[in-house]
Structure 1
Amino acid sequence: MTTTDDHQVLPKIVRPTHYDITLTPDLKEFVFTGHETINLDINEDTKVIILNANEIEVKSAKLGKLNSESHDAVSIEHDEAKSTVKLTFPEEYPAGCKVKLYLEFTGILNDKMVGFYRSSYEENGEKRYMATTQFEATEARRAFPCWDEPAIKATFDITLIVPSDLVALSNMNVISEKSQGNDKREVKFATTPIMSTYLVAFIVGDLGYIEDSTSGVQNGGKPVLVRVYTLKGNEETGRFALRVSVDCLEYFAGVFGIPYPLPKCDMVAIPDFEAGAMENWGLITYRTAAVLFDPNASDARFKQRIAYTVCHELAHQWFGNLVTMEWWDHLWLNEGFATWVGYLAVDKIFPDWDIWTQFVSEAFQRGLQLDSLKSSHQIEVPVNDPSEISQIFDAISYYKGASVIRMLSNYLGENVFLAGVRRYLKKHEYGNASTNDLWNSLAEESGKDISEFISIWTRKVGYPVLTVTEPSPDTLNISQSRFLSTGVIDPEEDITIWWVPLNIDVGTGNYKDLKDVVLTQKEKSLNLPNRHEDFYQLNSRKTGVYRVNYIPERLAKLGQAVKKDMLETSDRVGLVADAGALAISGHGKTSGLLNLIKEFDKEEQYIVWMEINTRLSDLTSVWFEQPDYQSLLSFQCNLLSKLVHKLGWEYKSDDDYLTTMLRSLVIKIAGRAGDKDVVNEARRRFKLFISDNDENALHPNIRGVVYEIVLIHGGGEEEFEAILNIYKTAKIADQKVVALTALGHAQQEKLIQRALELSISDNVKSQDIIYPFTGLKENCKSRRALWSFIKQNWELIQNRYQHSLSLFGHIIKSLDSFSSFDDIRDIEDFFKDKNTKEIERPLQQSLENIRVRAAWLSRDKKDVEDWLRNNGF
């Protein structure tokens, strides 16, 4: 292992060009044997070869020139700390020669959801297993010795020797099968394109599938065979994902101008899976709830999640697989692009979902929230140690990255932007690229020096808040400074001057006339043209990555403009989001946010209510131990009562998707807040559903919502047991998820303890701890019990999740629901003698979030109290 530009990478003495790998997994003993031949180019004279291996024992190693005698290694030295193996041979090989390395090895089919691992499931009361892989970011080395870095690409021949009754899958199509005797067969796959090790994949299991093909019209005349694999009996629940994947592959082949290069694309539902999905080239793996959907029994929320997840992973077949980042510093080129392109595809396939407005409320806000912390990081973040890699698979790489792309696309125009993307992909296909390579391609296409103004967004942490004052009726004074949720910024933290497209709308329909006005200094004055009804807003359609701080009088006028229907849906969303964030930071008052939300009493757009719910949830979550908590809930009930009554509980066949989602959301908000009519109706329907087995009493879209409402408002052991039984017996993945999450909303102490104990029991898969923890974190009655439980079971949690770092980080982020400085001290005291190397980012971000919440409460406690009293709550 050497250090190059601070990156811990393998020596460049040799480089692989091709791997020929044969693996034999044993699903009874949970081990595997393997042998491989690696074609190598020798770059420097050497008799030592170092490559990656983790929990693999290399039994033998030989090295020889092509068509020449090979020599056994004189020593094989494993370095567990660096996850490498050092092979020393008796003679030196000169630079420029080509050699073959022959290795025999054994490994473990672990239960850690990384590397080559085992996944379990129940069938007819019997526990069964399949073998699968998860290699991103540095886990291919758990399956076979290799050069496990994204820039070290090679081609791969994969052969699996498996039980004759099981299905074997890999990146490419099967080219031969033959019996090996002893109820085993050898399955050989076609040679892959040149690719990175983290994208190699193979699966062995008892699987069924459904299939379809693309037309090939957009793919150079070559249809692509698409299959969705599931455990047998569940095949039809993959039908929706199959339809989306066929449409999406057709769309991407056209919009990117490069055909999908593999003959097939398999998607597989895995019972145990750490992340949501993984883009292995030609063999995409998913959590079951991220790919399987039953139109008669699934919650509609999961339909959109599946559509987006499928499109995101298929986008990676170009962004990440065809063109791969040079190093993990440029992870956003994979994830930011796949996020933006995923939304682009969903918008194309499901235009009635208004997905880009949902982006403003969800992805955009998640990126801004994390980036408002001092513990955030740049989009292009230096990554040196492998332990740091998993910690940047976060809202910055995904959502801020996608938001910057969206801002740039809006500025250049989507057609010009996509033409630049096509140029980038074509120029770097089957290779590696950096952020500068993208800027160069966009500059060549647009004729603009992209890097000059956009690089600041990827290389600097944070984003600006624009403060707007009105020195005269037709003049705006606009200044920018870094936005921090703490509201406190030191001069040295506020030196960045961002390139900010203002996108000013003056309400006349001619806002595009001001589209190209850009702020490139700390402050500027701007004269507005004639405005409609004294109206203007910055960041129209919310494509700019910043927040806007208006004077209170202007914010009130924008609230009035909401009632006059002068703002697009995305602008209403952004207005509420900015007001909420500015109240948290102290740039505005919480009373200003509440006054603004009051103006939305006639709002009927689902996506706007999503954002209002987020901001009210933030507020009640921080005030959860304050006397005004119940008054805030009363305000929510009052705000929603008319809309809940209007929408009712019945789902109609002619409801559009957004109406369907709105009904579920407002029932949830009103029910959680304690609306008596909603709570009583939830109890009535729950009783019919449980006691009378009336499936029609609870539509699948509101089952999880009703479970939560019933447990929050008087539900006891009987209701808890009923929901627990639903979790244990449900056949549909999303219905298991909603039941398990709901259990975390129990209010009685003994039931809270049962939910906590359930989360780490054998009844809950290790991957699914996030669901009860989500409910327990949201539940004001269980937050402190959750933290005590984590402390008491820290050793178990650390041992179980230290290799599943995204899940480990999620557990740590369950701590950020507190609102006092005493809690910060308690958390810091607990971790001061713990090894937090793998969770340092999420831990520091959680602590900072608590500081932000505590400061908000301290600053605006009386402001909220006065507002509630003055408004009759």
Structure 2
Amino acid sequence: MSTTEDRQVLPKNVRPTHYDITLTPDLKKFEFTGFETINLDIKEDTKVITLNVREIEVKSAKLGKLNGEGHDAVSIEHDNKKYTVKLTFPEEYPAGCKVKLYLEFTGILNDKMVGFYRSSYEENGEKKYIATTQFEATDARRAFPCWDEPAIKATFDITLIVPSDLVALGNMNVISEKSLGNDKREVKFATTPIMSTYLIAFIVGDLAYVEETTSGVQNGGKPVLVRVYTLKGNEETGRFALSVAVDCLEYFAGVFGIPYPLPKCDMVAIPDFEAGAMENWGLITYRTTAVLFDPKASDARFKQRIAYTVCHELAHQWFGNLVTMEWWDHLWLNEGFATWVGYLAVEKIFPDWDIWTQFVSEGFQRGLKLDSLKSSHQIEVPVNDPSEISQIFDAISYYKGASVIRMLSNYLGENVFLAGVRRYLKKHEYGNASTNDLWDSLAQESGRDISEFISVWTRKYPVLTVTEPSPDTLNISQSRFLSTGVIDPEEDITTWWVPLSIDVGSGDYKDFRDVVLTQKEKSLKLPPRQEDFYQLNSRKTGVYRVNYIPERLAKLGQAVKKGMLETSDRVGLVADAGALATSGHGKTSGLLNLIKEFDKEDQYIVWMEISNCLSDLTSVWFEQPDYQGLLAFQCDLLSELVRKLGWEYSDDDDYLTTMLRTLVIKIAGKAGDKDVVNESHRRFKLFIKGDESALHPNIRGAVYEIVLIHGGGEEEFEAILNLYKTGKIADQRIIILSALGHAQQENLIQRALNLSISEDVKSQDIIYSFMGLKNNRKSRRHLWNFIKQNWDLIQQRYIHSLQLFGLIIKSVDAFSTLDDIRDIEEFFKDKNIKEIERPLQQSLENIRVRAAWLSRDKKDVEDCVMNATISIKEIFSVNLAMMLTGTFQ
């Protein structure tokens, strides 16, 4: 972990206890003025005070004792590299005294989606603006001078002077409003609890809302007013998020054993927003697609995204806001826990979604995939420079973190685990804590040494190799898993404490399921069982891969057909086979042969994982002769299921059936299934002519892609582009952006590229354009050339939006040759990559993994595809003969 000596932090000579801030934003000049009084405790004799500022000019500074005596600063020195201002006063103040610091300052309402910034939208052809904030991790300093570190907490009084016709929002409820004349009014908010600067928020704009009040039953009898704010006219699209929030706040108040601490909870849809959402205490901000849902026009998959995002951000109101990480080293504790408990809440509110099985396919695999790279980072990682912070807001901190917590909860039992969490929150409420503080609380509640069990899991994860020296004996060994498959001895020194969770299919073998691997290798005797079946990591709660011998993998495929594996186990089986083929622990032919056994599969979540594996495979083979054979394999696999599900959506369909229909049509259509392609074109033409019923909102994005991939040209591209320009539903617009990237002709690919950086696309949405272009094998090389040609523009636009910048960099990782690595390295060798070094190295390593996979299994895939093609031809020949003889049914 980093030490205070290594960190770029402020001097310890003074500490704030309370801020009183008045801000006046100007939405025409895009600037603001501010006045600030900060109560300070002098810790060491001093006449110099240093605090954080960025793109703020401190005009005047005065330091005074509480009796009113004071001195103006004799110098105000801004350091634009360290983002500080140093204030020097004529007299020294002794340690132990309390003083007030008075500051006057000005700043800019930037358009970078950080700090105090402006967000734009159009209304009746006129461009209008909202003033809003995004302070995590270190951007409160762009709005007001402060001690911008999570452990330096204080209370805040915020006052906004705003145009009389606009709404003003803050973390707390409004306590007074008064007219100032000249179409201005003053809005004062109640004093906040003691809190970190990165959680402060305020918003000014022409907004409307829908509201509900929680019952208060779980909240100590105190109802909470919940509102969803949107641009006027969109209020009703906030209803779904509102209902989730009301249920979730009550649920968390009960689970955490502490009432929600504030009197209200506002959630606001922001037109321009870098991340998905931000947990500002009592004033949560969101991308529009993460909080607004139109039941008549939105794609159903956004419903689940909204539910989870709302629950995740509300979890932070306790875990992160009430108790805050001591420093950014512990970010994973903030985000990993909020991810886990967010899924927990969704499971309680929407039990039919089978959300934990979806986690096995989505979050769990994302965390493990990134953590299998040498260039990834540990869950708990030293952070010293502010530029490093944004680079760890990734799948390790969120999803591997959540996976480790899920494994620990499963090991201890959910009730014991949550009791430990309650102990932790109560002990540290309104303060700061570290990861070890949570382990201590869990240990006290469970009576077990948690740190011994869990510490190794914050450092990478293992693959368990299982061999069968005899029919009833297993040898299980563990080693670090890397996607390269190549491990140096010094990289394989960790021995994990691994809960094996072995399932033998029948009988009461609970003791056998609780076996733990605590050494590098172990031999086990299997109990008597009715069938030759066993599997490790049942229900996939353990954070590891399992590598079976080929014969066992084939038997597990047969067990799938017999219905012996639960949905989560089928998902995990496919995911492990895919990861092990990529790393070289297994063969790609083994993965494809396993997938063949799923031809009768009817569960959406399993098909989602199969789709992920096949997508990875075809992406690596995108320039190989066998690419078309792999597409034919997909068509053959899915043809029966597509016909069974059909194209029509019904209100009687459950959520997972709805999602399955969309997914299989998309996979089959993009792979070239003739019936699906023809039906896509037919329905698309009807839709463009005005028949909206021809394409259900759930299927529109898939059809746009299918049409552009298979036969679509200028006319189709123009029609889809026009839908984007005239569309009002945010989720449908980003679906279209991604779809346009699937154009096949070079001139249309160039148009999609140019669109991505045009004024027609918000800066935040470039990732959707790039996602489509990256996934299109015809355009991914054009995309890389476009990035090189427009590097200066991209860097200038996104250097302050580092999460987006990192995602842009990761759009170059879809190649499969060492020549591409050399090209990328050559381009970046003279560039300043400090802020994007980690995502760049991860992208390069991903390409190395892909290149090694292709080189190793090229012949294996060629033989497998050839055999599959022969089998399809044989079936076709038999069917043709039967048709000719009149025996075909």
TM bracket (short chain): over 0.9
**Within 5 Å, which residues of 2 pair with 1:262-281?**
262-281=262-281
Correspondence 1:255 to 2:252: no
- Name the structure 2 match of 1:723: 720
Contact 2:502 2:514 in 1 (8 A): no
Report 1:345-384 matches (<5 A): 345-384=345-384
Would you say 1:862 and 2:859 are equivalent positions?
A: yes
Q: Is the contact between residue 462 and residue 496 of structure 2 (CA under 8 Å) also seen in structure 1? A: yes
Distance 1:814 1:586 in 2: 24
The residue aligned with 1:709 is 706
RMSD: 0.8
In the TM superposition, residue 512 of structure 1 has moved relative to its aligned partner by: 3.2
CA shift at 1:114, angstroms? 0.1
Structure 1 residue 531, shift from structure 2 partner:
2.2
Q: Is the 8 A contact 1:503 1:512 kept in 2?
A: no
Deviation digits for residues 419-448 of structure 1 (CA, Å, limit 9, x no counterpart): 001101111110000000000000000000
Q: List runs of 5+ in structure 1 lacking aligned partners.
A: none
1:503–1:511 CA contact under 8 A, matched in 2: no
**1:382 alignment partner, SS class:** coil
1:107 counterpart residue number: 107
Structure-to-structure mapping, 1:46-65, within 5 angstroms? 46-65=46-65
Equivalent residues in 2 for 1:359-508 (5 A)?
Answer: 359-458=359-458, 460=459, 462-508=460-506
Partner SS, residue 81 of structure 1: coil
Specify the code of the residue in structure 1 equivalent to 2:769: P
Asked if the contact 1:155/1:194 (under 8 Å) is kept, the reply is yes
Contact 1:403 1:545 (C-alpha < 8 Å) held by counterparts: yes
Could you report, residue by residue, the CA deviation over 1:265-288 in whole angstroms, capped at 9, with x for unpaired residues?
000000000000000000000000
C-alpha contact 2:210 2:238 (8 A) present in aligned 1: yes
In 2, the alpha carbon distance for the partners of 1:270 and 1:834 equals 33
2:791 corresponds to 1:794: yes
> Structure 1 counterpart of 2:845, which letter?
E
Counterpart among 626, 629, 639 of residue 627 in structure 2: 629
CA distance in 1, matches of 2:113, 2:307: 24
Paired residue for 1:206? Answer: 206
CA offsets 1:487-518 (integer angstroms, 9 cap, x no match): 11100111111111100000015353323211
Alignment of 1:167-246 (within 5 A): 167-246=167-246
Q: Which letter does structure 1 place at the counterpart of 2:575?
A: A
Provide the secondary structure at the position in 1 that maps to 2:8: strand
Contact 1:744-1:775 at 8 Å conserved across structures:
yes
SS at match of 1:405: helix
> How far is the alpha carbon of 1:3 from its aligned partner?
7.9
Answer whether contact 2:237 2:293 (CA < 8 A) is retained. Answer: yes
Query: For residue 568 of structure 1, what is the amino acid of its counterpart?
Result: E
1:830 corresponds to 2:827:
yes
Aligned-pair CA distance for 1:830: 0.2
Q: How does 1:605-620 map to 2 (within 5 A)?
A: 605-620=603-618
CA contact (8 A) 2:130 2:203 kept: yes
Match of 1:750 in 2: 747
What code does the residue aligned with 1:695 have?
E
CA distance in 2, matches of 1:533, 1:244: 45
Kept after mapping to 1: 8 A contact 2:629/2:869: no
Q: Does the CA contact (< 8 Å) of 1:479 and 1:522 recur in 2? A: yes
Instruction: List structure 1 runs of 4+ shifted beyond 6 angstroms.
Output: none
Which residue in the other structure is 2:566 paired with?
568
SS in 2 for 1:7: coil
Equivalent-residue separation in structure 1 for 2:4 and 2:603 (angstroms): 52
Shift of 1:84: 0.2
Equivalents in 1 of 2:131, 2:670: separation in Å?
A: 42
Q: Deviations 1:47-68 (Å, cap 9, x if unpaired)?
A: 0000000000000000011123
Q: Out of 645, 648, 652, which is 1:654 matched to?
A: 652
1:643 aligns with 2:664: no
The counterpart of 2:547, out of the listed 546, 549, 558, is: 549
What SS does the aligned partner of 1:133 have?
A: strand
- Which runs of structure 2 are paired with 1:793-812 in the superposition (5 Å)? 793-812=790-809
Q: Secondary structure at the match of 2:685?
A: helix
SS at match of 1:524: strand
Structure 1 partner of 2:882: none
Distance 1:40 1:360 in 2: 49
Cα offset for 1:689?
A: 0.3
**CA distance in 1 between partners of 2:106 and 2:513 (Å):** 61
For structure 2, which runs of at least 5 residues remain unmatched after alignment? Answer: 871-889
- Cα distance per residue 1:9-60 (max 9 Å; x no partner): 1111100000000000000000000000000000000000000000000000
Does structure 1 residue 850 correspond to structure 2 residue 858?
no
- Contact preservation (8 Å) 1:370, 1:376: yes
In the other structure, the counterpart of 2:153 is 153
Residue 558 of structure 1 deviates from its aligned partner by 0.3
Larger CA deviation: 316-325 vs 512-521: 512-521
Q: Distance in 2 between matches of 1:290 and 1:685?
A: 29
Q: Secondary structure at the match of 1:492?
A: helix
Distance 1:563 1:3, change over 3 A: closer
Instruction: Give the counterpart letter for 1:849 in structure 2.
Output: N
The Cα of 1:731 is off from its aligned counterpart by 1.0
TM-score in terms of structure 2 length: 0.97
> Which residue pairs with 2:884 in the alignment?
none
- The residue number in structure 2 matching 1:533 is 531
User: Is the 2:738–2:768 Cα contact (8 Å) retained in structure 1?
Assistant: yes
- Paired with 1:304 and 1:514, the residues of 2 have a C-alpha distance of 37
- Are positions 1:592 and 2:583 aligned together? no
Q: Which residue of 2 aligns with 1:578?
A: 576
Counterpart residue identity of residue 33, structure 1: T
1:295-351 deviation line (CA, Å, top 9, x unaligned): 000000000000000000000001110010000000011100000000000000000
Write the distance in 2 (CA, Å) between the matches of 1:334 and 1:730. 37
Q: CA deviation at 1:624?
A: 0.3
| Amino acid aligned to 1:8 | Q
What TM-score, normalized by structure 1, do the two folds share?
Answer: 0.99
Which of 729, 733, 741 in structure 2 is aligned with 1:732? 729
Structure-2 separation of matches of 1:789 and 1:649:
37
Contact 1:71–1:89 (CA under 8 A) maintained in structure 2: yes
What is the CA-CA distance between 1:452 and the residue it aligns to?
Answer: 1.1
Between the aligned partners of 2:644 and 2:473, the Cα distance in structure 1 is 43
Q: Is the Cα contact below 8 Å between 2:633 and 2:868 reproduced in 1?
A: no
Letter in 2 for 1:72: D
Q: CA deviation at 1:857?
A: 0.2
The aligned residue for residue 71 of structure 1 is 71
Residue 786 of structure 1 aligns to which amino acid in structure 2?
L
What one-letter code is carried by the residue in structure 2 that aligns with 1:615?
A: C
Contact 1:3 1:9 in 2 (8 A): no
2:93 counterpart residue number? 93
Q: State how far apart, in whole Å, the 2-side matches of 1:613 and 1:4 are.
A: 46
Separation in 1, partners of 2:809, 2:655: 34
* SS of 2:467 mapped into structure 1: strand
Matched residue SS, 2:107: strand
Give me the whole-angstrom Cα distance separating, in 2, the residues matched to 1:576 and 1:168: 51
Query: C-alpha separation between the residues in 2 aligned to 1:509 and 1:463?
Result: 31
Report the Cα distance in structure 2 between the residues aligned to 1:456 and 1:619, rounded to whole angstroms: 31
For residue 700 of structure 1, the aligned residue among 697, 701, 706 is 697
Structure 1 Cα separation of the partners of residues 759 and 70 of structure 2 = 50
The alpha carbon displacement at 1:653 in A equals 1.7
Shift of 1:88: 0.2
